[in-house]
Amino acid sequence: MRRRRFVIGASLSLTAPPAWAQDKPVRFSVTGAMEQGSLALGSAPPGSQVALDGRPLHVLPDGRFAFGFAPDQTAAALVTVRYPDGAGDSRSFTPTVRQYEIQRVNGLPQNTVTPPPEVKARIAREAEEIFLARVRDTGGSDFLSGFDWPAPGIESGVFGSQRIDNGVPVSPHYGVDMAAPVGTPIHAPADGTVSLSADHYLNGGFTLLDHGQGVSTSYLHQSKRLVKAGDAVRRGQLIGHIGQTGRATGPHLHWAMNWFQVKLDPSRSTRKPKPDPL
Ligand SMILES: [Zn+2]
């Protein structure tokens, strides 16, 4: 951990702090799993300005903020805070490196592993829709109270694994798979707003929830979607049913989390143990 102070009180008097006091802890904190692909939550004095690697972050009135570590990030994230009194601190946070698995998945519909040319434009359009939904920078605070598991199920796929689908290496698996029968209810893991709800070629029945400050979660392969773009949802609300639509070998929920375009492991932001499979 590096620590720098860039503003030190200008008034030197008999009450000036002794030299050792300059080593005192910074006046902000960052918590979370602090590993690759995890959401980090920060807290600074109310009224502070915060930057991540020089880019300003949204800060709630109470001083709290969020950012994410990329799945392959090895560089430190530099958090700089300017306090309301004009002083400031900065500190870098290096994510713990994770070892990701290799997962071979066979039996996928071949037209979802190597999609026919005529659906390429549709896939690109749907990917762009999702990209744009994740660009949105709403100042909400729904991410603050943590996330519940959205459905029961057997965890059949973990975050970050290198995927080899029907023998073809594809992009890593950025989500948690929960296998459960078709029709198993999916509940919102936290309050949020529906940014996108649509039937996609690869994702199947797809819903994206915005939880504020770039934090979003998404739900893939649903047999039924029960909310639409613009809806406000409450923690625990039924939002859809588990299915086997899109690129899937069996009924399961693919649950993903993002900080803007940074892919995160939602299992690292849950506040309770996973429910037992049905
Ligand atoms: Zn998945």
pLDDT per position as a tens digit, 186-233: 999 999 999 999 999 999 999 999 999 999 999 999 999 999 999 999
Q: What is the pLDDT of residues 109-150, one digit of tens each?
A: 888 888 888 899 999 999 999 999 999 998 899 999 999 999
Domain count of the fold of the chain: 2
Domain boundary among 39, 60, 93: 93
Residue 235 CA to residue 189 CA, distance in Å, equals 5
Domain boundary among 47, 66, 93: 93
Q: Give the Å distance between the CA of 16 and the centre of ligand 1.
A: 57
Domain assignment present for residue 276? The answer is no
Whether 131 and 87 map to the same domain: the answer is: no
Domain assignment present for residue 219? The answer is yes
Q: What is the pLDDT of residues 52-93, one digit of tens each?
A: 999 999 999 999 999 999 999 999 999 999 999 999 999 999
Q: Percentage of the chain surpassing pLDDT 90?
A: 73
Whether 21 and 69 map to the same domain: the answer is: yes
Whether 59 and 123 map to the same domain: the answer is: no
Stretch (H or E) spanning 51 = strand 49-52
Beta bridge partners of 176: 255
Q: Give the Å distance between the CA of 199 and the centre of ligand 1.
A: 16
Q: Give the Å distance between the CA of 220 and the centre of ligand 1.
A: 8
Whether 195 and 260 map to the same domain: the answer is: yes
Domain assignment present for residue 239? The answer is yes
Residue 182 CA to residue 240 CA, distance in Å, equals 11
Q: Give the Å distance between the CA of 228 and the centre of ligand 1.
A: 22
Which two tokens mark 100? Answer: 């990701």
pTM of the predicted protein model:
0.87
Q: Hey, how many other C-beta atoms are within 10 angstroms of the C-beta on 68?
A: 27
Q: Percentage of the chain surpassing pLDDT 70?
A: 91
pLDDT at 24: 63
Beta bridge partners of 199: 205
Whether 180 and 257 map to the same domain: the answer is: yes
Residue 160 CA to residue 17 CA, distance in Å, equals 47
Q: What is the pLDDT of residues 1-21, one digit of tens each?
A: 444 444 333 333 344 444 444
Domain assignment present for residue 63? The answer is yes
Domain boundary among 93, 112, 146: 93
Whether 66 and 115 map to the same domain: the answer is: no
- Domain coverage including residue 44: 3-93
Contact 195, 133 (CB under 8 A): yes
Whether 25 and 55 map to the same domain: the answer is: yes
pLDDT at 271: 86
Contact 110, 199 (CB under 8 A): no
What CATH number does residue 147 fall under? 2.70.70.10
Q: Give the Å distance between the CA of 77 and the centre of ligand 1.
A: 28
HSE, CB side, 13 Å, CA atoms: give it for residue 151: 30
Q: Give the Å distance between the CA of 203 and the centre of ligand 1.
A: 9
